[in-house]
Structure 1
């Protein structure tokens, strides 16, 4: 589905909107504006969207893909772009160059095996009291780490407390940001030196083991890279194609910035 957010905005226009002499009704603009209420200038965004769609519709008629007045749907847009914006398949050499320049992106995830004890914040418990209990338990574990299992079963407000606080294998993106930062923000093994404060409360955390991610071989990620590069080329080709259509059209009721390289998605 085509959008057009990267044509630079211009001041809202009160002039009738037309594309190559085809007038777009004011009521249509108003209806479309409601779909762009989140944008700084909903009227201009609506006009921009309708202009792009009308340009494509006229081109689809000109190429014989649809009859005049038949309307434009997403399938027709895709067919039009397939015919007029052919996307070359990236070569194996291009994919290998991208892989070599971006190897940090192609790694298996870092793993951490951790346990925690949660002291949950509730409406009935004052935060200072909850924190004091958590700090007391943390001090005890600093001296007697072997008591983690028993304290988790007795004190934790998390269901994991029933298995000694065991959270199993964790990767990035599986927990709230504050907890993730505490787990993966260092290479510390064992009881973390302080409490971890999250939206759920105070956590005592122990990282039992870590397994560092490893670089994935090119053969494993080649298809992913090829899809990415193909989409990137298609994106750029579509940008150039739509900018060309707009530059050749007679547009009234809107001003578009069509500097080279400016995306018209």
Structure 2
């Protein structure tokens, strides 16, 4: 079925040109078609308002600038954000981490792997001194050769799901549960940590303000686009909200 937006039919050639830009999406074709549909809705509104522009991108920018007003965050808002998320403004924080990785692969049944990992964890909780021994014999990470030691890590060095856990642990602590990440199942121990220091509010206020304004702008753009989607005549596609790179 043809996709028609306000009487404009999106051609297959347009989709083919757009598709390579969305290969990282879960559904590249759907994301490409959605992006083209939303772009057409925005361009139609810019034309309706008579906004002059040298290109499609310029027309969309002019439309959003004219129709969506985003106030600048005040000092109180920035301070609340600073106090709520001190870890985001902490520098010099380090943890020294050991781990044993049980990598998830198609060749090993997940339940069997989980059972082995859980059994190994219980052994280490009972005898922590065996950590290096078990890391060398069981870990699927190259760090197993050095007893599972990953060295000193700072924030941003690992995947978020691993970072959140290890930076909340105490020195000498073995996590009493398996840590699951995109790489597999981990037994984790924090050997040492170095506390960082929180940057003064004055140093980061401008950065916080920019981040808060960008978040408010994105939310306002999405709301505006949802409003335009509700007004548009759309055939051949269902636009669920306004989730598009156009407003990210």
TM-score if structure 1 supplies the norm length?
A: 0.53
C-alpha distance in structure 1 between counterparts of 2:224 and 2:181, whole Å? 49
Instruction: Report the secondary structure of 2:140's partner residue.
Output: coil
Gap change, CA 1:129 and 1:48, over 3 Å in 2: closer
Deviation of 1:159 after TM superposition, in Å, equals 0.8
Q: Unpaired segments of 5 or more residues in structure 1?
A: 1-13, 19-23, 67-71, 255-261
Q: Paired residue for 2:75?
A: 95
**Structure 1 residue aligned with 2:97, among 99, 114, 134?**
114
Instruction: Report the secondary structure of 1:50's partner residue.
Output: helix
**Structure 1 residue aligned with 2:47, among 31, 38, 57?**
57
Q: Paired residue for 1:73?
A: 56
Structure showing greater radius of gyration is 1
Q: Is the 8 A contact 1:134 1:195 kept in 2?
A: no
Q: How does 1:95-244 map to 2 (within 5 A)?
A: 95-107=75-87, 108=90, 111-120=94-103, 123=107, 127=112, 131=116, 135=120, 139=123, 142-143=126-127, 145=129, 147-170=130-153, 174-175=158-159, 177=161, 179-180=162-163, 183-184=166-167, 186-187=169-170, 189-193=172-176, 196=179, 203-212=186-195, 214-231=197-214, 234=217
Give the number of aligned pairs: 222
Q: Unpaired segments of 5 or more residues in structure 2?
A: 20-27, 235-240
Q: Is the 8 A contact 1:121 1:127 kept in 2?
A: no
Gap change, CA 1:87 and 1:151, over 3 Å in 2: same
Gap change, CA 1:188 and 1:194, over 3 Å in 2: farther
C-alpha distance in structure 2 between counterparts of 1:90 and 1:239, whole Å? 18
Q: Is the 8 A contact 1:103 1:215 kept in 2?
A: no
TM-score if structure 2 supplies the norm length?
A: 0.56
Q: Is the 8 A contact 2:5 2:40 kept in 1?
A: no
